[in-house]
Copies of this chain bind each other. A is one copy, B any other.
Amino acid sequence: MKVLVLGGDGFCGWPTSLHLSQCGHEVLIVDNFARREADVELGAESLTPIETLDVRRAVWQELTGREIGFERLDVAADYEALAELLASYRPDTVVHFAEQRAAPYSMKSAWHKRYTVNNNINATHNLLAALVDTGVDSHVVHLGTMGVYGYTAAGVTIPEGYLRVRMANDDGEDVEQEILYPTNPGSVYHMTKSQDQLLFAFYNRNDEVRVTDLHQGIVWGTQTPETERDERLINRFDYDGDYGTVLNRFLMEAAIGHPLTVHGTGGQTRAFIHIRDSVRCIQLAVENPPEHGQRVRIFNQMTETHRLIDLAQLVSRLTGAEIDFVENPRVEAAENDLRVHNRQFLELGLNPTTLEEGLLREIADIAARYAHRCDRDKIPCRSLWRRAAEPATAT
């Protein structure tokens, strides 16, 4: 298949591009390097030394003979260029990663909130409007988040996107309806993914655009079989307070002798997936497109759930690191229950990589290998979900 990967230079986008190329698909990456620019803005860097996209692509071609194309453009801003590219390349599938993807980053300031909303909504909408405008019938595979569900249901295993509910009609009889699972996003970033769902539902219903929306859990790990083939293909490893995800952060902290920073009580339960499974899930979605006329297909892209404190204790046992409880910057319940269905990917053949010590050691090894590149000042999360309270006046 011809696959256009929007945001193909990022943490999920790069290993996905390699994996799809490895599977024999023709891959064309679109990126505006916003993620690398955020590194510059934040004075942070991937712990792993990532190469430029040109070097990455050249190394892949040298190793495998497979070419990965590249167009630099901003999907949220350069509509005409995007529409022209779709019309000329006519991809079978567009994998859409071209969104600002960090919750803490989205809450740093009014500018960051506005950037996230403007970028994410316009990126998704430009893609959908351009597909309709050009008449190109690509299947859109979008990376969403488990965070749109918001962990609200009491004792209900979260279904894959849609929920059957009952309500009383005017005659007091029960009516059953299937609805998009009600969202309860916890950050501006998560909110944009809830808004994306409305965009997909509308363009699917009005114009029959075929969409697979992947509600992904927190990704752990950094390497895939493809990125491991050469150090110059290595994937990003973010450990900073904005972009670092929790389990990778713990392993990084352990590697440099920093206490594991647990926000709040650590009683929050989250859904997880290893980056290897993430790229396989995307491959499965790409290779199994929905039918024309089918509603938006939603998959939960996660393999297991864990309480954060349990993960911290696991890493602590493995490495001897101490645990440090710090204030939770988020507005959220201290503890939550979370159970999630992921049948659809299992039925398509996903064989989950679950959390086990071997893989954790692999990541700890990477963290240790590049520990000299770590800037300890970047570890704390400095985003506050709400304005800090005024300091008390001295009396």
Contacts and interface: CB of A to CB of B under 8 A. Distances in A.
Contacts of A121: 117-118, 121, 195
A164 B168 CA distance: 9
A188 B122 CA distance: 13
Given A155-B171, A155-B173, A157-B170, 7 more contacts: A109-B133, A110-B130, A114-B125, A166-B167, A188-B202, A191-B202, A194-B198
Contacts of A125: 113-114, 117-118
A64 interface: no
Interface stretch (A31-39, A179-187, A262-270, A307-315): A179-187
B129 A113 contact: yes
B156 A169 contact: yes
B163 A205 contact: no
Contact of A179 (B182, B188, B199): B182
B185 A169 contact: no
Nearest to A196: B195
A169 B198 contact: no
Interface of A: 79, 83, 109-110, 113-114, 117-118, 121-122, 125-126, 129-130, 132-133, 135, 152-157, 163-171, 173, 175, 177, 179-180, 182-183, 185, 188, 191, 194-195, 198-199, 202, 205-207, 331, 339, 385-387
A110 B133 contact: yes
7 contacts: A109-B133, A155-B171, A156-B170, A165-B166, A183-B198, A195-B198, A207-B387
A332 B83 CA distance: 28
A381 B125 CA distance: 24
A155 B167 contact: no
Contact of A386 (B122, B168, B206): B206
A248 B103 CA distance: 46
Given A125-B114, A126-B114, A182-B180, A175 B198 contact: no
B110 A129 contact: yes
A387 B169 contact: no
A177 to B, nearest CB: 7
A202 B173 CA distance: 33
Nearest to A117: B125
Given A132-B387, A188-B202, A191-B198, A155 B183 contact: no
B122 A114 contact: yes
B126 A122 contact: no
Contacts of A166: 165-167
Nearest to A116: B125
A149 to B, nearest CB: 12
B122 A118 contact: yes
Contacts of A385: 206
A20 B270 CA distance: 49
A155 B135 contact: no
Nearest to A174: B166
Contacts of A177: 152-154, 182
Nearest to A198: B194
Given A114-B125, A114-B129, A122-B117, A202 B185 contact: yes
Contacts of A386: 206-207
B180 A153 contact: no
B110 A132 contact: yes
Contacts of A207: 386-387
B153 A339 contact: no
Contacts of A129: 110, 113-114
Contacts of A185: 198, 202
Nearest to A76: B118
